[in-house]
Amino acid sequence: MPKTYTEIENWIITEVKPTESNSAAQTYERLERVAGNLPFIDVPQDFSLEPHFVEEAQVCDFRTHLAGCQEILDVGCGDGWPLLRIAPFFPSVTGIDASARRVRTCLANAERLGIRNVRVQQMSATELNFADNTFDGVVAASSIEQTPDPYQALREVFRVLKPRGRFRLFFEAYESEDKGVVERVFLTENEESLGYHYVLKHHRPAWERNYLVRFSPVPAMKEEFHRLRDLIERLGPVPAQAPEIGVRFLQQNRQHISGGSWYELEHFTSATMKATLEEIGFVNVRICYSAGTFARKIWPSIKEQGLSISQHQALCRGLAELTSELQAPAGLGEPVIATKP
């Protein structure tokens, strides 16, 4: 299907003339925190909350699939997830991220938490600065699809894995039957500029385009952004449903635009990811249920049972053991496990 352009895209392309960028520079470098409420990393773990129970199950998932590994690589570790959560269970863990800001945050989190067996480096997933056959386990959580070339990133993972090394891959799967376009706006701010981000996602075929329009951070524009933020909170982030946050806002504040950029991402379904890994050379590639999926399903049944912390943790370990052998059908967006021969 040919790619079409929305009204906002056409306006940005014509009026702003954005330059090509990537997700690290355009998005993740500008975010103050990728996630500010991560259990254990950002806030104390609280098993009375569903997200905390699900997160514990996901951590157990990584532990189970990489059991016995000695050297772990987390591709796209961001602020430290899952890197800092799985670090206590392996002798050595290494995290890489293309964003310098994310690397600084991850290192600060590791220092604050007293985690000593980690190293974190700024590095592109498409050019891993490691020798062949370095790691016996690799994890990636919603990061491969954020790279400029996910196929090259997966080839690099294959290269740095030791023979019989394992790769547990979570990704933003595009399994929806919806053939339409989903759009949203969000805002960022740093010392140099105010950022108006426009994101467009198409499900079949699976692609995503991201635009950044930068505004000068003068007082008048900061006030406009404050009003826009309030509008987004009240009306939602979809310009098609709230014209006030779309082209109308851009036109009214054109004089303060200082530049712009864009990048495009390619996404996968479970089936296409499995096929891609097999083409690269991985074997025993399985679409395997996430323990987090089962944790969400059983949460309504256990949330009022008064389980202790150790009982919650034991339950999560059991879910991980169960799901590690339980293949999921394609079409559900479940993660993949693969082995280098």
Q: pLDDT tens for residues 82-126?
A: 999 999 999 999 999 999 999 999 999 999 999 999 999 999 999
Based on the fold, state whether residues 273 and 262 are members of the same structural domain. Answer: no
- Please name the residue that has the structure tokens 């949460």: 299
Residue from 239, 233, 150, 241 nearest 197 by CA: 239
Look at residues 214, 233, 266 and tell me which one is the last residue of a structural domain: 266
pLDDT of residue 246: 96
Domain membership flag for residue 41: no
Based on the fold, state whether residues 149 and 283 are members of the same structural domain. Answer: yes
Q: In this structure, are residues 295 and 57 in contact, taking their beta carbons and an 8 Å threshold?
A: yes
Based on the fold, state whether residues 169 and 288 are members of the same structural domain. Answer: yes
pLDDT of residue 174: 79
Based on the fold, state whether residues 240 and 222 are members of the same structural domain. Answer: yes
pLDDT of residue 1: 45
Domain membership flag for residue 70: yes
Q: In this structure, are residues 163 and 133 in contact, taking their beta carbons and an 8 Å threshold?
A: yes
Q: In this structure, are residues 296 and 54 in contact, taking their beta carbons and an 8 Å threshold?
A: yes
Domain range enclosing 82: 50-173+268-339
Domain membership flag for residue 114: yes
Q: Which two tokens stand for residue 65?
A: 């699939």
Look at residues 212, 237, 266 and tell me which one is the last residue of a structural domain: 266
CA distance 209 to 264: 4
Q: In this structure, are residues 335 and 290 in contact, taking their beta carbons and an 8 Å threshold?
A: yes
Look at residues 251, 266, 281 and tell me which one is the last residue of a structural domain: 266
Domain membership flag for residue 119: yes
CA distance 178 to 229: 29
Based on the fold, state whether residues 162 and 70 are members of the same structural domain. Answer: yes
Could you tell me the pTM of the whole model? Answer: 0.90
Domain membership flag for residue 130: yes
Spans of the chain below 50 pLDDT:
1
Based on the fold, state whether residues 330 and 287 are members of the same structural domain. Answer: yes
CA distance 39 to 16: 40
Based on the fold, state whether residues 154 and 121 are members of the same structural domain. Answer: yes
Domain membership flag for residue 24: yes
- SS3 call for 36: coil
Helix 291-302 vs helix 309-323: angle between axes, to the nearest 10 degrees? 140
Q: In this structure, are residues 174 and 204 in contact, taking their beta carbons and an 8 Å threshold?
A: yes
Q: In this structure, are residues 206 and 269 in contact, taking their beta carbons and an 8 Å threshold?
A: yes
Based on the fold, state whether residues 119 and 132 are members of the same structural domain. Answer: yes
Based on the fold, state whether residues 69 and 156 are members of the same structural domain. Answer: yes
Based on the fold, state whether residues 257 and 293 are members of the same structural domain. Answer: no
The total number of structural domains that make up the chain? 2
Domain membership flag for residue 45: no
Q: In this structure, are residues 41 and 303 in contact, taking their beta carbons and an 8 Å threshold?
A: no
Domain membership flag for residue 140: yes
Based on the fold, state whether residues 169 and 186 are members of the same structural domain. Answer: no
Q: Is the peptide bond before 163 cis (omega within 30 degrees of 0)?
A: no
Q: In this structure, are residues 210 and 263 in contact, taking their beta carbons and an 8 Å threshold?
A: yes
